[in-house]
Amino acid sequence: MNLLARAFYNLEEALEEGESAREQVEVPIEEQDGATAQIIQEGDLKGVLKIVVDGYLPRTRHATSMMRRSWIGKITRALLPIDVHFKRAFCVIAIYVPGKANWDVDNRYYKFIIDAIRFARIIDDDNCQRLSFMVIGSVDPENPRTEIYIVNQPFEEHVFVYKLLKHIIIEGKSLG
């Protein structure tokens, strides 16, 4: 296969993948399965988009295309009623696993989340000039989940991270 034909095939495949992801968004809101989204309305994090997905991200070596579709579908459906768009954004992914206090953040497959917020048109592009992110986490045997916080840039990064960590710590204490 020549180079041009291969490029055409790859482009066609990417377009089909994008169309498939958009079709997943068109599931009725009542069928949200394990994810919620809201704009925080008060306190230190007012204006921050918060998404909570039941369950925690799989390890990179265990990620499958079915898992990818499921995670993207959950997140994009949760974002349907949310009317927000960020030209530049900062995203914090907080992963709460049910066990093992020490786990490597680089072994979790967070690409699902980045793709979902792009497919939901919260951001136009996930290049380094439009999106930056950080991954944090802890253990919560009672409620394993993934929390995603997205804030518009520009902002004072150190102030936002401080407020977010304060929020997570206070919220974490109230869980048990």
Model confidence over 153-167: pLDDT tens digits? 876 666 777 777 777
State percent of the chain over pLDDT 90: 32
Extents of the domains making up the chain:
3-174
Cβ-contact 80, 122 below 8 angstroms: no
φ, ψ at 153 (rounded to 5°):
-105, 155
For residue 5, name the pLDDT band (cuts at 50, 70, 90): low
pLDDT, tens only, 57-114: 877 777 788 888 888 999 999 999 999 999 999 999 998 888 876 777 777 788 889 9
pTM: 0.72
- CATH code of 3-174, in short, is 3.30.1330.70
Instruction: Give the pLDDT of residue 50.
Output: 95
